[in-house]
Structure 1
Amino acid sequence: MSIFETPSLEPNPKRQRIEPVFEPNPKRQRIEPVFNNSSLSSIPCPHSYAQHGVCTACNSMIERCHYRSFNCFKDGVQIRHEAVASAKRLMTKFSYMGDKKLPLVLDLDHTLVHTTTLSSLTKTEKYLIQEAGSRHDLWLLKSDDDPVEHLIKLRPFVLDFLKEARKMFNMHVYTMGNRYYADSVLELIDPRRIYFGKRVITREESPYIKTLDLVFADERCVLIVDDTRDVWPDHKSNLVEISRYCYFRMSNDQCSRPYSEERIDESECNGGLVNVLRLLKEVHCGFFRVKEELESKDVRLLLQEIEFKRGVLQGESLIL
């Protein structure tokens, strides 16, 4: 049974049958309880799960302010606030743990790709306009709805990273870009949506900060890969911070020449995504090592342990 079909022990007011009362005594009729449609509709829905504003248990309209949407899990899904934590635990236990996959939240900009506007290109970078489309890692983005044209550069190893990560993780995209931009990038790196499906969160849903509140999974199992730590004020312990990928010249960096002007790129063998993938594999292995301990495992503690061990090993190498 799906968690969105959980039966309720509460009476269903719509299914109650009100029998007519035939009494000869009018005084007695006046003291009988009277039920009508208006009184029934005023009773708030007590159930926890809804879809597109309709309760999945009793088919009544819900008060949206009492529910949180999880469109990145399934279109239109809404869960009552007080039931969110238990629903996440159930989803984690029966889906993620059963498949031996952990939820992985990936940033886009400076993590998987670097995007710039054509107007921001330096003279030395103009050659890239001609190469866009003929290279597998460089694409021109333009739209009738947006007069500003962009260049999107895929990070080296990104396609191999997604292929390998898919074996261990249920991947999500979380970007401060808008929905059109996210869909445009995914059209390049995941055109068939085999990696991300509809698990995409944009600034439309989360305009100011990033939060695991919008990810339908228990926080103890969720890993985050992002180049910016400060956008995760409440979930830094879940974060694997990746080196910032800057292919084009940044407006605030006039000291060093970017990859684009040097006509080189980040290493395919030892770049940011390669190093992060090694760490993710280590966490995944540690989490699922002992089946009987899954209920107590926490990726946040595993990340701390790995960081501590690496610090010790680095210290020992310096001493030697």
Structure 2
Amino acid sequence: MSMLHLVLDLDHTLLHTTQLCNLTPEEDYLKIGTHPHRDVFVLETVITKLRPFVWRFLDEASKMFELYIYTKGNRYYAGLMAALLDPRKEYFPSSSRVISCEDHGIVRIYKSLDAVVGCNYSNVLILDDTEAAWTKESRDNLIVVEKYCFFRHKMGLPKCKSHAELKTDECGYLAALLEVLKVINRIFCDELAINPSGVDVRDVLQLFGNNSSRG
């Protein structure tokens, strides 16, 4: 039985990256390696915080789906983030599983499932915090996730302190989203056992209502 495909956005979905120069004075402690976060990484001129539970999420999801990264960032950035998320290349074992805006010889305005090798619209799900990033044809496959913001920069709430400033973090979102994916996968597999040639994961998604924040 073939696996479903799961296409994962990077920024604000699996992680949050900002320029080091954008850290506020109250976030500067993260530049020093003595802070308690094991999932904060300083890479050249940027700092990245992985979303809580992301490694467990990828491990569990990889048992149900073929995983892909798809970012509007460039190829170099995509490779850096893939190495943080999957240093052993267990989840994204080949370069075709990591897609950037620079792939296929053009800079794409919108993300499109046409760029994902080996999948078709009937067997792929997308997790992304931004619906508008995708072509209209791809949006029926999309689960819009809650935006993950750890640093102050680009939070959109300038008067609110960031998780980094408060020394707090999000809790439970990816774990809850994983449970939703397990249900979707189970329904799809049950339907596929009955009708091997006629199952469309978009029909399964319709059972969960609006694509926004199904998790």
State the TM-score, normalizing by the size of structure 1.
Answer: 0.60
Look up the match of 2:213.
none
Q: Bigger radius of gyration, 1 or 2?
A: 1
Q: CA RMSD in A?
A: 1.6
Look up the match of 2:101.
203
Instruction: Tell me, in whole angstroms, the C-alpha distance in 1 between the residues paired with 2:34 and 2:124.
Output: 35
Instruction: Tell me, in whole angstroms, the C-alpha distance in 1 between the residues paired with 2:194 and 2:183.
Output: 19
Contact 2:67 2:92 in 1 (8 A): yes
* Distance change >3 Å, CA 161–CA 132, structure 1 → 2: farther
Provide, for residues 74-127 of structure 1, a one-character-per-residue CA deviation record: whole Å limited to 9, x for no partner: xxxxxxxxxxxxxxxxxxxxxxxx34x101000000001100111101111111
Alignment of 1:1-320 (within 5 A): 98-99=1-2, 101-131=3-33, 135-142=37-44, 149-197=45-93, 198=95, 199-205=97-103, 206-215=107-116, 216-234=118-136, 235-251=138-154, 252-267=156-171, 270-271=172-173, 273-290=174-191, 291-307=193-209
Task: Give the letter for the 2:111 counterpart.
Answer: K
Task: Give the letter for the 2:159 counterpart.
Answer: C
Deviation at 1:192, TM superposition (A): 1.4
Q: Quick check: 106-115 or 211-220, which moved more? A: 211-220
Contact 2:40 2:50 in 1 (8 A): yes
Runs of 4 or more, structure 1, over 6 Å off, are: none
Deviation at 1:257, TM superposition (A): 1.1
| Runs of 5+ consecutive residues of structure 1 not aligned to the other structure | 1-97, 143-148, 309-320
Contact 2:9 2:71 in 1 (8 A): yes
Task: Give the letter for the 1:195 counterpart.
Answer: Y
Contact 2:82 2:98 in 1 (8 A): no
Contact 1:132 1:138 in 2 (8 A): no
Q: Quick check: 208-217 or 153-162, which moved more? A: 208-217
Deviation at 1:133, TM superposition (A): 8.7
| Runs of 5+ consecutive residues of structure 2 not aligned to the other structure | 211-215
Contact 2:128 2:145 in 1 (8 A): yes
Provide, for residues 1-24 of structure 1, a one-character-per-residue CA deviation record: whole Å limited to 9, x for no partner: xxxxxxxxxxxxxxxxxxxxxxxx
Task: Give the letter for the 1:203 counterpart.
Answer: C
Task: Give the letter for the 2:169 counterpart.
Answer: D
Q: Which has the higher contact order (CA 8 A, sep 6+)?
A: 2
Identity value in percent: 41
Contact 1:124 1:261 in 2 (8 A): yes
SS of alignment partner, residue 289 of structure 1: helix
Task: Give the letter for the 1:239 counterpart.
Answer: L
SS of alignment partner, residue 296 of structure 1: coil
State the TM-score, normalizing by the size of structure 2.
Answer: 0.88
Deviation at 1:136, TM superposition (A): 2.1
SS of alignment partner, residue 32 of structure 2: helix
* Distance change >3 Å, CA 134–CA 274, structure 1 → 2: closer
Deviation at 1:158, TM superposition (A): 0.1
SS of alignment partner, residue 108 of structure 2: coil
Task: Give the letter for the 1:274 counterpart.
Answer: A
Deviation at 1:233, TM superposition (A): 2.5
